Structure 1
Amino acid sequence: MNGKRHFEPLFWSLFGAGGIVTAMATPVLVLIVGLCVPLGIIPADALSYDRMMAFAGSWFGRLALAGVIILSLWHCVHRIYHSLHDFGFHPGFAMKTLFYGSALVFSIATVTMVLLV
């Protein structure tokens, strides 16, 4: 063992968590917004602007929104980066830094916005 640390397990864990969150949240959102509200199963005022702002303003809503945004972002970045390999384009260290660095910057921006707003 050469003592060299790898960050790949961290990226894979964020990718996995983001995949699970995206796979669980997206179908529910499509069901609620795309089917239940238009069919009248859920009243339209349940998704009113005031209710959504009240949800987004609560600590649980902020945590949920930040979690979905951040984990989905990391999932997307990791998926795109590794899909490039499947297409025969092997990005180097600079591209890897750009991909994961942008995910880190946007994650920090999301946490900042959640805390400040």
Structure 2
Amino acid sequence: MTTSRRGSRRPTAEPLAWLAFSAGGMAAALLIPVLILLFGVAIPLGWVAAPDFAHLHSVLRHPITVVVLVGLCVLALFHAAHRLRFTLWHGLRLQKARGAVTVACYGGAAVGSVVATYLLIRG
């Protein structure tokens, strides 16, 4: 909640945006480098044996794996949306278009989250 100079309180969604930003940054910082190292370096270079398609498919179809990947995608998208919103506001000085920038950033993250969830659940 924010307070004005008069002491009246207006509830805002800002704490939720910061929560999504921090959770997305933490999840992305912990999981994405490991996935890149594993699937982008270690398996192609032969450091780790590549899993066969059936095994990898069964792991990706497991409900816990789907929940983790959906969570990673959603949190990373909202982290990026929050970072982009503040870059547009402060870096490009688009404070006059605050509403449009906010809707575009978080709306894009919401649409991307729905698409990612659909693709991961559909398989």
- Bucket of the pairwise TM-score, normalised by the shorter protein: 0.7 to 0.9
Q: How does 1:59-98 map to 2 (within 5 A)?
A: 59-84=63-88, 85-90=90-95, 91-98=97-104
TM-score in terms of structure 1 length: 0.82
C-alpha separation in 2, matches of 1:80 and 1:39: 35
Task: Return 88-97 or 2-11, whichever deviates more.
Answer: 88-97
Superposed CA offset, 1:13-68 (max 9, x none): 10111001111112101211232113322112x2x432332122111111011011
Cα gap change, 1:43 to 1:79, in 2 (>3 Å): same
Whose Rg is larger? 2
Q: Which has the higher contact order (CA 8 A, sep 6+)?
A: 1
TM-score in terms of structure 2 length: 0.78
In the alignment, structure 2 segments of 5+ residues that lack a partner are 1-6
C-alpha separation in 2, matches of 1:81 and 1:51: 40
CA RMSD of the aligned region, Å?
A: 2.1
Q: How does 1:32-111 map to 2 (within 5 A)?
A: 32-44=38-50, 46=51, 48-84=52-88, 85-90=90-95, 91-111=97-117
3-state SS, counterpart of residue 64 of structure 2? helix
Residues 1:29 and 2:35 aligned together? yes
C-alpha separation in 2, matches of 1:56 and 1:73: 20
C-alpha separation in 2, matches of 1:49 and 1:98: 38
Give the C-alpha shift of residue 112 in structure 1. 4.7
C-alpha separation in 1, matches of 2:63 and 2:111: 22
In the alignment, structure 1 segments of 5+ residues that lack a partner are none
Runs in 1 of length 4+ with deviation above 4 angstroms?
112-117
Task: Return 25-34 or 96-105, whichever deviates more.
Answer: 96-105
Give the C-alpha shift of residue 69 in structure 1. 0.7
3-state SS, counterpart of residue 92 of structure 1? helix
